[in-house]
């Protein structure tokens, strides 16, 4: 899901002025392909790593800002739930039976995704304790990258790795046939997304994988 509403955010509040704007700007030249990844020597210093142990910690990094959530709710977007009515039994998350454990963790992961991707997390509050336990049991890690201005020139491609979970930036400009390709589920938090057809320039290789907040 790519939400067309791109909401304002404040980079300076998080950086504290410790990093120069220069080394956070990114330009992908025409015909160039750049991989944005926490393993990349070029970008490694721009990544933050979070070890969340509660659903609310995940929500603070990947979820909607308050203003974005209000905008989505104001448009009365329909958000259906695909989760079963019955909760996972907590013991199943660490069960010795592989099938039981895998099923429980799959459902907990789906619940965590819906908790983060919805503009109204209260709809999944009954899953919150299970999500918290799932995060603790699996020792979950979130990687997010913080950039300033990004320009993807005509014919250029910026690939965002599957283990980049959030992408913070000021102004993102996609020129001509430039593309941003997301290999996994990701949240974009940017000031502006510009281009002739800016939203068509961002594609995801997984379903419902991208949201801009």
Task: Indicate whether 136 pLDDT > 90.
Answer: yes
HEC readout, 182-213:
ECCCEEEEEEEEECCCHHHHEEECCCCCEEEC
Angle at 186 between CA 19 and CA 57, to 5 degrees: 75
Percent of the chain at pLDDT above 90? 51
pLDDT value of position 76: 58
Residue range 85-129, pLDDT digits in tens? 678 888 999 999 999 999 999 999 989 988 888 888 888 888 999
39-63 burial code (b ≥16 CB/10 A, e <16): ebeebeebbeebebeebebbbebbb
Predicted confidence band of residue 174 (pLDDT cuts 50, 70, 90) = very high
pLDDT value of position 54: 93
Predicted confidence band of residue 157 (pLDDT cuts 50, 70, 90) = very high
Residue range 10-44, pLDDT digits in tens? 333 333 344 444 478 999 999 999 999 999 999 99
HEC readout, the chain:
CCCCCCCCCCCHHHHCCCCCCHHHCEEECCCCEEEECCCCCCCHHHEEEECCCCHHHHHHHHCCCHHHHHHHHHCCCCCCCCCCCCCCCHHHHHCCCHHHHHHHHHHHHHHHHHHHHCCCHHHHHHHHHHHHHHHHHHCCCEEEEECCCEEECCCCEEEECCCCCEEEEEEEEECCCCEEEECCCEEEEEEEEECCCHHHHEEECCCCCEEEC
Beta-carbon contacts of 14 under 8 Å, excluding residues fewer than 6 positions away, are 146, 168
Task: Indicate whether 192 pLDDT > 90.
Answer: no
Predicted confidence band of residue 66 (pLDDT cuts 50, 70, 90) = confident
Global pTM reads 0.74
| pLDDT higher at 158 or 23 | 158
- Sign of the torsion angle spanned by Cα atoms 188, 55, 105, 49: positive
Length of the chain, please? Answer: 213
């Amino acid at each position: 899901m790519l939400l067309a509403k791109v909401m304002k955010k404040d980079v300076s509040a998080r950086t504290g002025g410790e990093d120069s704007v220069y080394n956070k700007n990114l330009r992908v030249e025409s015909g160039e392909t750049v991989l944005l990844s926490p393993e990349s020597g070029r970008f490694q210093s721009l990544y933050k790593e979070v070890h969340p142990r509660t659903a609310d910690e995940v929500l603070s990094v990947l979820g909607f800002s308050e203003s974005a959530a209000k905008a989505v709710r104001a448009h009365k977007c329909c958000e259906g739930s695909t989760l079963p009515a019955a909760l996972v039994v907590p013991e199943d998350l660490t069960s010795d039976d592989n099938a039981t454990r895998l099923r429980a963790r799959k459902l907990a992961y789906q619940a965590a995704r819906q908790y983060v991707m919805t503009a109204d997390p209260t709809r999944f509050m009954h899953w919150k304790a299970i999500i918290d336990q799932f995060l603790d049991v699996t020792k979950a890690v979130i990687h997010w990258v913080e950039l300033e201005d990004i320009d993807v020139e005509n014919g250029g491609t910026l690939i965002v790795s599957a283990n980049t979970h959030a992408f913070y930036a000021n102004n993102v400009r996609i020129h001509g046939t430039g593309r941003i390709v997301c290999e996994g589920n990701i949240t974009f938090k940017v000031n502006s997304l510009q281009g002739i057809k800016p939203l068509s320039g961002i594609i995801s290789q997984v379903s419902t994988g991208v949201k801009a907040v």
